[in-house]
Amino acid sequence: MEKGRSSVRGISVQRSGNTSPLSRRFGEYLVETGRVSSEDIRRAVRIQKQEKVRLGEALVRMGLMDDIAVARVLAEKSGCDFSEVVPEPAAEALKLLPERMARSYALLAVGYDDDVLRLACDRPLPDHLRRTVERRVKGAVYPIICPTGRLKNSIALAYTGDSTVSTEDMSTVEIIEKIIIRAVKWKASDIHIEPLQERVRIRYRIDGVLQEVESCGLHAFKAMISRIKVLARLNIAEKRAPQDGAISFRKGGVSVDLRVSCLPSLYGEKVVMRLLAGTDEKITLAMIGLSSAHKDAFSAAIGRPYGIVLIVGPTGSGKSTTLSAALHHINRREINIVTVEDPVEYKIPGITQVHVGQSDKLTFSSALRAILRQDPDVIMVGETRDRETAEISLRAALTGHMVFTTLHTNDAPGALPRLVDMGCEPFLVSSSVTGVLAQRLVRKLCPHCREETVLSPAQWSSIGTEPVKKPVYAPRGCSLCNGIGYKGRVGLFEYLPVTSAIQKAVMAGASGDQLTVVARQEKMTTLREDGIEKMVHGVTSFEEVIRVTVE
């Protein structure tokens, strides 16, 4: 072990020297060590008094420090140990402090050995609190100072039945419940449970990126898969063929629907569970990241009495969310809106939603035919997968209905020849489609820790633009974004209105590249240009724009 460091349940803990008397005030110490100025402290003290927060939190709100830096300085000043990562609590230690005390004072008992309680806290313990804890545990207290945000999150996980606990101490039912509950709370879109040669890996897709969150021994794997299959109403005995199912999960205040896929692999069945939004929260066009120009053009297109608007992009690019925002935007009592989806991802009050795919008799095309006899004003088709569905949608648009649907194409101009390639007549495509919105999702920079950066001329050149004088930002990572530097996602968009020039090009059999040339002449903003705009406004980073856009 490196000198000056110790280990608590596998977490590296840094020992701080007693560099300063404990009585020295925190603000004075920060000024004396050159971390902030006297004026900064005066401003922070005003915020501290106005908002009734600790000085460290005031400095975090001002953007002068993050709570990792605050915790590090507190440990340094007091001579306590510091850990950037909150140690995982041992089950026997958790029982020593009541939940109310842990939450009230931000304390987490992480271990108890030889009459010494290892206690994670976010500041040095006042004497009265230390004595109270020592009396309760009948032993000494060994404080470890951790960042406030991470500590509070760990306390919440530990006392809400959502902590990472050894599978040996839990039933299979509890294991699966905790995996799902934690995924919901961490805002994951997918859960991956995958057997490897020597262990089971559990990963969540958060903001579009897979992150490993836990692993367990193979001894628990078969029971875990069987439990998931029972919940999803799948055949437990079938292990050699893919299976698909669904789970409606309700537990401990958490309510979520999951789509389940089982796939045989070398070391056993891999399970992926997609968390469906299933919410009636109103999603607006402003929330998804449309620029003012895009929002105005798209709003005008979806507000027309007839025509077809296409939302295009790869799987996982946010098309369903945009469709939901569009439906919320036009939803009124005087119009009849019917959707055809597989599955229903967003539950929207006041409209009729049809879940297809549950039987061979209810498909996109058969549902569409039935809907046309239901006096609809607006029809939303979750995905146009074949020629039959495409032609019914196009003809519905020609006969006085507004239709929204999605396609898998890389950009907006490519959607129109894609419909022709599916077998639709060019005249039908050019006269029915009124607009195409292409999109991607990029991760948003964490506003609490993003930092200014300078792009090289080569980097500016790689995205096809001249250097911009405004500052751009890069991810850093703090406790509020779990050290990633990103928090949440936002859309990049390009909108193609089907003008007379575009119609003529489609009728002439233009390819996607040829339509792009026409669209650029019509002043279409590309996905990359929208990404650059969001980058220079500090919403996302250069790396994210490069990652999701290709030109």
**Which DSSP string do the residues of 347-409 spell out, in sequence order?**
--TTSEEEE-SSSTT--HHHHHHHHTTS--SEEEES---SHHHHHHHHHHHHTT-EEEEEE--
Q: Which helix (H) or strand (E) holds 38?
A: helix 38-51
pLDDT at 191: 97
pLDDT band with cut points at 50, 70 and 90 for residue 484: confident
CB-CB contact of 22 with 80 (8 Å): no
The model's pTM is: 0.66
**How do residues 108-123 score in pLDDT, each as one tens digit?**
999 998 889 999 999 9
User: What percent of the chain stands above pLDDT 70?
Assistant: 92
Q: Which helix (H) or strand (E) holds 506?
A: helix 500-507
Of 196-200, 294-298, 521-525, the one with minimum mean pLDDT is 196-200
In the predicted structure, residue 279 carries a pLDDT above the cut 70: no
In the predicted structure, residue 551 carries a pLDDT above the cut 70: no
Domains and CATH numbers, the chain: 26-159 (3.30.300.160), 172-276 (3.30.450.90), 292-441+489-524 (3.40.50.300)
In the predicted structure, residue 511 carries a pLDDT above the cut 90: yes
CA–CA dist 353, 379 (Å, integer): 10
pLDDT at 174: 85
Mean pLDDT of 453-478: 87
**How do residues 232-258 score in pLDDT, each as one tens digit?**
999 988 999 999 999 999 887 788 899
**The most confident of 49-58, 108-117, 251-260, 527-536, by mean pLDDT:** 527-536
85-115: burial string, b at 16+ Cβ within 10 Å, e else: ebbbbbeebbebbeeeebeebebbbbbbeee
In the predicted structure, residue 318 carries a pLDDT above the cut 80: yes
pLDDT at 59: 87
Residue type, 134: E
pLDDT band with cut points at 50, 70 and 90 for residue 160: low
Mean pLDDT of 174-194: 91
Task: Give residues with Cβ within 8 angstroms of 100, minimum separation 6.
Answer: none
